[in-house]
Structure 1
Amino acid sequence: MAETGGDEAASVKNYFDTTGFERWNKIYGETEDVNKVQLDIREGHQQTVDKVLAWVKNDDLEGVTVCDAGCGTGSLAIPLALQGANVSASDISSSMVGEAERRYKELVANGAKAPATEPKFDAMGLEEATGKYDMVTCIDVMIHYPKDRVDGMINHLASLSSKKLIISFAPKTLAYLILKRVGELFPGPSKATRAYLHDEADVEIALKAAGFKVKRREMTATSFYFSRLLECERV
């Protein structure tokens, strides 16, 4: 049964504020209390984050304004902030964004150098984010939303960025469609939100309509994690 955009967002928020928080906090953390699939997803997600950090490693991030929409537990927002970026991190789940803030404060308390401007952590949906930023990032979020919702998300993210937009999504290919279908045949307790694949051509059409072009792209694929990463610049 199809859900409206509002119902989809409410489902994602409820999931990541309840049973999903504990599960994904373990995946994005360092605990060894994870199964093979969770460990594989952790490694895949970290590879995507590392690729983003590699793209900006030669940039002077001091004072660069960044909006990290759908920040989760801060896997990207925190290292960007510690490199000097002025980060505004948000997530639809108050539990997830609260964990991101806790992790940041713990790192600083343990000796990490705090940036000149402390990062901001806010619980809000992606479309609620406002302002103008040098760079907007949205990593591993769009898999939770259908195409019609993603088109609007891309348009809104683009409206927040004056220069750069970095997004990731699960690409729609025959192989991944088959893998997704096989996974749906064996639903486990962790499958409380839907997984949507997106055609890369459709994503680029939405980006073009929003005034952005793809500068470079990467693909991360492990056994259970797959994500297309795009770095885009304003035309």
Structure 2
Amino acid sequence: MSTPYLTRRTQLETYFDRTAVEAWSRLTSDAPVSKIRATVRAGRDAMRATLVEWLPADLTGLRLLDAGCGTGALAVEAARRGATVTAIDVSPTLVGLARERLPEIPGPGSVDFKVGDMLDPWLGRFDHVVAMDSLIHYQAPDIVRALAELSLRTEGSLVFTVAPRTALLTLMHAAGKLFPKADRAPAIVPITEGGLRRRIAREPVLERFSVGRTRRVNSGFYLSNAVELTRIRPPSPTAGGGVRA
């Protein structure tokens, strides 16, 4: 990956491990939070529900990568539906919280929390990959390169989020500079859905994937766009009337 990707990854690790540990611990729990954080919490809950909804209802026997797992809420939901989840994040602190909060999961599902880079090829192959709000901090070229890397190890779908480029989001981030640092998130990079689609279409590694469903979640100070990439299956040999004698 590019130098900007590696630089941003290091910045995110520092932010979540030093600057915002307490804020994110409260945000991702049931603890009382400020009105600003309450809108973010509600938005994240809605987005997580969307991404999980796009996965198969029964994940038994399937491997799922939670790329940028944070404190593990999505990973737990997937495991409860039977998935074998590898959940990875660059922040040792967030992964530590995720391990502490991991409930007992009945059935065949499981979660293995790891600290590291979501693009590490040694993580293995997966049936589905979810990257909720972990790519929103990167430039569009790095987002597409990351998707290309992940696609090489994905048999089914890639579902992820990006920050939509809107006048409202620009205004919100300008206004956000007026708030205390504890209420600020790391800098995100708004991009247009049309621009993202064109970049995906031009990426040779992603030629076997197509953009499927998209959905925007807007909740106060949370604004994010979900995107689904699905693998294009080759036509059946018998399609179109079968084999002629």
TM-score by length of 2: 0.84
Aligned residue pairs: how many? 224
Matched, 1:178 2:176: no
Distance 1:77 1:180, change over 3 A: same
Which of 203, 221, 224 is residue 221 of structure 2 equivalent to? 224
The alpha carbon displacement at 1:192 in A equals 6.3
Whether the 8 Å CA contact 2:60–2:109 is kept in 1: the answer is no
Query: What is the alpha-carbon distance in structure 2 between the residues aligned to residue 67 and residue 202 of structure 1?
Result: 26
The alpha carbon displacement at 1:90 in A equals 0.2
Which of 115, 120, 126 is residue 123 of structure 1 equivalent to? 115
The alpha carbon displacement at 1:65 in A equals 0.8
Distance 1:126 1:163, change over 3 A: same
Runs of at least 4 residues off by over 4 Å: none
Larger radius of gyration: 2
Equivalent in the alignment of 1:213: 210
Which moves more between the two structures, 8-17 or 138-147? 138-147
Look up the SS of the partner of 1:10 in the other structure: helix
Deviations 1:168-193 (A, max 9, x none): 11111222222222323x15213362
Which of 145, 149, 154 is residue 152 of structure 1 equivalent to? 145
Query: What is the alpha-carbon distance in structure 1 between the residues aligned to residue 220 and residue 143 of structure 2?
Result: 25
Which moves more between the two structures, 161-170 or 16-25? 16-25
Gaps of 5+ in 1: none
The alpha carbon displacement at 1:216 in A equals 1.0
Report percent identity of matched pairs: 26
Look up the SS of the partner of 1:96 in the other structure: helix
Equivalent in the alignment of 2:85: 87
Equivalent in the alignment of 2:49: 50
Q: After the TM superposition, which residues 56-205 of structure 1 pair with which residues of structure 2 at under 5 Å, given as runs?
A: 56=55, 59-104=57-102, 107-108=103-104, 112-113=105-106, 115-116=107-108, 118-129=110-121, 130-184=123-177, 186-190=178-182, 191=184, 193-205=186-198
The alpha carbon displacement at 1:141 in A equals 1.2
Query: What is the alpha-carbon distance in structure 1 between the residues aligned to residue 13 and residue 58 of structure 2?
Result: 34
Query: What is the alpha-carbon distance in structure 2 between the residues aligned to residue 64 and residue 84 of structure 1?
Result: 8
Letter in 1 for 2:24: W
Letter in 2 for 1:24: W
Letter in 2 for 1:120: D
Query: What is the alpha-carbon distance in structure 1 between the residues aligned to residue 135 and residue 97 of structure 2?
Result: 21
The alpha carbon displacement at 1:117 in A equals 5.0
Q: After the TM superposition, which residues 10-25 of structure 1 pair with which residues of structure 2 at under 5 Å, given as runs?
A: 10-25=10-25
Distance 1:7 1:83, change over 3 A: same
Distance 1:132 1:171, change over 3 A: same
Give RMSD over aligned pairs.
Answer: 1.9
TM-score by length of 1: 0.88
Gaps of 5+ in 2: 233-245
The alpha carbon displacement at 1:148 in A equals 3.3
Distance 1:183 1:66, change over 3 A: same
Whether the 8 Å CA contact 1:65–1:87 is kept in 2: the answer is yes
